[in-house]
Every structure is written in C-alpha cells, then in structure tokens.
Amino acid sequence: MLDLFANFKPSIADSVCQTIDIGKLHLPSGRIFCCDPFLSDEVNALDITVAPGRYDVKLCIASLPEWGKRVALAGLIISKHAPMRWQEATYSIDGEQLSGFPVDAGLACFMDQETRQRFIQIFDDFYTANPDGNYYDDVLADEFKLSADPNNPHACGDWTLHYPSKDSPINIAMFASGLGDGFYQAFWGMDFMDRPAMLIIDFGLLEN
C-alpha cells in the first residue's frame, strides 16, 4: 500500500528512503489527534473521523548523508484504496479551523481522542508520583531504543507503539519528527469516492 512513498524523493542529495511498518494503532473512537504527544492541549481532534478500528502505521525513513536516518513521513493507513487527491488535515478550536501542529519534544504522534484523555491522566499521575522524573527518560526511552539502528548516529531510536496503560489495548504511535522541533503539517489522502484513505504527516524532508 505504501508504494505511494516511492512517489516522494528526498530533497537532500545522495539520500535514500525505506518504508517501515511499526504496527497497528488502536482507534476506539475514530477521532484522531495528530500532534506532539506532550502538546496535545494545543490542538484538537481532526475534523475528519474514521470508523473505529485498528489501522497500520508506516514510516518513510530517509537516510541523509549529514543527519543519518530520519523519519520523513508518517502514514496512518485507513483503507486499501490509493489516494487520488490530498487536502490539509484540519481541526477546529473555538469555531476556527486550523491546520498543522507545533513540536517541542522532537516527537510527533497519532492517537485516538479516548487514548489522549487516558494518556493525560497517566502523564499527570506520573509527575505527581515522580516530581523530579522525566516521562521520556523514565518510560519512553527504553521503548524507543528497541527501534534504534546501531549504525545510526541518531541512536536513541525513531519510533514506538506506546501503551500508556498496560492493562488496555489503547496505544499511541510515536515517532521522531524529521530533524527535530518545528511546525509540521498533516494531510488526508482522499480516495476515488472522496473518502479518507490515508493520513500523512510531512516532516519537510521530501519533494513532491
């Protein structure tokens, strides 16, 4: 399905891309947050919803001569149909339609609205119990290291399917955001019947 990624070329010379399947994201409500997982209060669920279910998440990894392997695109695969056109993924706050999201932790994610509500509670509980702790260092770092490439200077790992509640199937697809912090856009790929086929976050490393 993600042969689509072959249509995108790195904007940096002497770079190559590969596709990584990181697993299935659980969407119990079908309302999707696309954001820095620690800044979900600065956005809202996307205006377009999908049927509740489990959906594949795939990453396009660009190998850059100066920066090593970096996540160039993150894709949430909604259907088997190929996108026929693209549109900005928007969300609404106080009646205003917005697009894009800030990243301040070098991470972006896809997660369900119900998962977000649970994650916020778990996140707050962590810092109540560990006021000097760090959720990334203490909880996420070991998960990210499982995806680390030993030949990559960016050796902390680039992605994880994080289960904030170990007794629940809810999860969050987290991944490094391109070259780091910034402001990034997400896009819906709409199929031949103008239904969502794919949701992509573009980290600005590819052409087309």
Tens of pLDDT, residues 50-63:
999 999 999 999 88
Domain span at residue 161 reads 2-202
Mean pLDDT over the full length of the chain: 90
Percentage of residues of the chain with pLDDT beyond 70 = 89
What residues contact 22, with CB distance under 8 A and at least 6 apart?
A: 57, 58, 59, 147, 159, 160, 161, 173, 175
Residue 166 confidence (pLDDT) above 90: no
> 155 or 145, which is more confident?
145
* Of 75, 59, 77, nearest in space to 17 by CA: 59
Residue 207 lies in a domain: no
Residue 208 lies in a domain: no
Q: What type of residue sits at position 33?
A: F
Residue 87 lies in a domain: yes
Tens digit of each residue's pLDDT (9 = 90 or more) over 4-62: 555 554 444 445 678 999 999 999 999 999 999 999 999 999 999 999 999 999 999 98
Residue 172 CA to residue 115 CA, distance in Å, equals 7
Residue 109 confidence (pLDDT) above 90: yes
Residue 126 lies in a domain: yes
**Placement of tokens 């119900």 in the chain:** 114
Residue 143 confidence (pLDDT) above 80: yes
Q: What type of residue sits at position 159?
A: W
State how many domains the chain has. Answer: 1
**Each residue of 100-136: b (16+ CB within 10 Å) or e?**
bbebebebbbbbbbbbbebbeeebeebeeeeeeeebb
**Placement of tokens 């199929």 in the chain:** 191
Residue 156 confidence (pLDDT) above 90: no
In the prediction, which pLDDT does 155 show?
66
Residue 77 CA to residue 55 CA, distance in Å, equals 6
